[in-house]
Structure 1
Amino acid sequence: MSSELLNLIANVGFPIAVSIYLLVRLEAKLEVLTVSINNLSNAIKSN
């Protein structure tokens, strides 16, 4: 029973950890992109 549980954690835990890592990185990049788009929009409005 415990070896099955450890096997399940090993098989499922790694993809979950990688997914969380990638989502956190993507969220940070989207935030930077949002700020850049807002700055561009403000620059266009001021001209």
Structure 2
Amino acid sequence: MTVDKQREVDERIEGERVEQVRKQIIEEERIKLLREHAHRLLGYLPK
């Protein structure tokens, strides 16, 4: 592989890793907010 091609592959892999970490943080925060505010939502959830 050429140096440019390898750099592109490395950048794509790094971008995917960053995106995965970002999604994990968002999911953790979503769960934290749900736990914190779930008692307020009980009357609004469909049965």
Where has structure 1 moved over 4 Å in runs of 4 or more?
none
Unaligned runs of 5+ in 1: 1-7
Unaligned runs of 5+ in 2: 41-47
- Higher helix content, 1 or 2: 1
Please give the root-mean-square deviation of Cα atoms over the aligned residues, in Å: 1.4
Task: Give TM-score scaled by structure 2 length.
Answer: 0.67
**Residue in 1 aligned with 2:30?**
37
How many pairs align?
Answer: 40
- In our comparison, the structure showing a higher alpha carbon Rg is 1
